[in-house]
């Protein structure tokens, strides 16, 4: 979704739990989405992406689900570890329209805290 002011959603989990982070998008024509992880003091880091011809994509301990009907993305992290603590953003290169993939529009982000 749009960033309209920063009261970031927070998710606090215990080490070993599974985490689910959600994101809504606005442009029904968007066909590609990306999840980024941002640790304190660092730039965002690519985690996983998904194209709209897929409903699900799996990586190492991460899965992204895409529901085009309700324009919703989720990032699932399995067996969450303290090193997963960070802010997680979804990004849509086509949120503002057009077909280019260069200009990322980021969601507001979710703060994930993993307790040992």
Is the Cβ of residue 32 or residue 63 nearer to other proteins in the bound state?
A: 32
* Residue 23: closest CA among 108, 111, 97: 108
Q: Are 66 and 30 in contact (CB under 8 A)?
A: no
Where do contacts with other proteins occur on this chain (CB under 8 A)? 3, 5-6, 32, 41-46, 49, 89, 93, 96, 100-109
Min separation Cβ 16 and other proteins, Å: 29
* Residue 38: closest CA among 2, 85, 107, 79: 85
Per-position DSSP letters for 77-101, written without gaps between them: ESS--GGG-EEEEEEETTTTSSS-S
Coil, strand or helix: which one is 104? coil
Min separation Cβ 42 and other proteins, Å: 6
Min separation Cβ 11 and other proteins, Å: 17
Is the Cβ of residue 84 or residue 93 nearer to other proteins in the bound state?
A: 93
Distance of CA 54 to the CA centre of its chain: 16
Min separation Cβ 115 and other proteins, Å: 25
Is the Cβ of residue 6 or residue 14 nearer to other proteins in the bound state?
A: 6
Is the Cβ of residue 7 or residue 69 nearer to other proteins in the bound state?
A: 7
């Amino acid at each position: 979704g749009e960033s309209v002011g920063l009261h970031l959603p927070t998710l606090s989990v215990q080490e070993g739990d599974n985490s689910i982070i959600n994101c809504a998008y606005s442009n029904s024509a968007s066909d590609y989405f990306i999840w980024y992880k941002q640790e304190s003091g660092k730039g965002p880091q690519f985690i996983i992406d998904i194209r709209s011809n897929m409903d699900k994509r799996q990586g190492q301990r991460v899965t992204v689900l895409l529901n085009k009907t309700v324009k919703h993305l989720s990032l699932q992290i399995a067996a969450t570890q303290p090193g997963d603590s960070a802010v997680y953003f979804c990004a849509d290169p086509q949120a503002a329209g057009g077909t280019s993939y260069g200009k990322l529009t980021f969601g507001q982000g979710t703060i994930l805290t993993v307790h040992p």
